[in-house]
Amino acid sequence: MSKIPAPTLPEGHPDRVLLCQDSLEAEFLWLSDRAQRAGWSREEVAMALMELADCYFLVSADFETLELGGGLVRLARKLH
């Protein structure tokens, strides 16, 4: 794995997310390739990564997770 480049644009810049995508692309492709070589299909890998990204965003936002059992998770706004 290589080092992920640090941002060169200030927060709020309209191209910052594109720069982040460019910075993560090599690691993303490396992880995707490893998963496919392990036997997961391209579709399974894509779906899993999208789900992980959704969860990462929601958990890093102002939500808390509540385990419901059987693999089910409920998201609820954190009370302040």
pTM across the whole model: 0.68
Tell me: do 5 and 35 sit in the same domain. Answer: yes
Given pLDDT bands bounded at 50, 70 and 90, which one contains residue 55?
A: confident
Tell me: do 34 and 62 sit in the same domain. Answer: no
Structural domain boundaries, residue 16: 1-39
58 has a pLDDT exceeding 60: yes
DSSP collapsed to 3 states, the chain: CCCCCCCCCCCCCCCHHHHHHHHHHHHHHHHHHHHHHCCCCHHHHHHHHHHHHHHHHHHHCCEEEEEEECCEEEEEECCC
66 has a pLDDT exceeding 90: no
Residue predicted with more confidence, 68 or 53 = 53
Examine residue 27 and state whether it is found in any structural domain, yes or no.
yes
Average pLDDT over residues 24-43: 97
Tell me: do 2 and 30 sit in the same domain. Answer: yes
Quick one: pLDDT at residue 68? 56
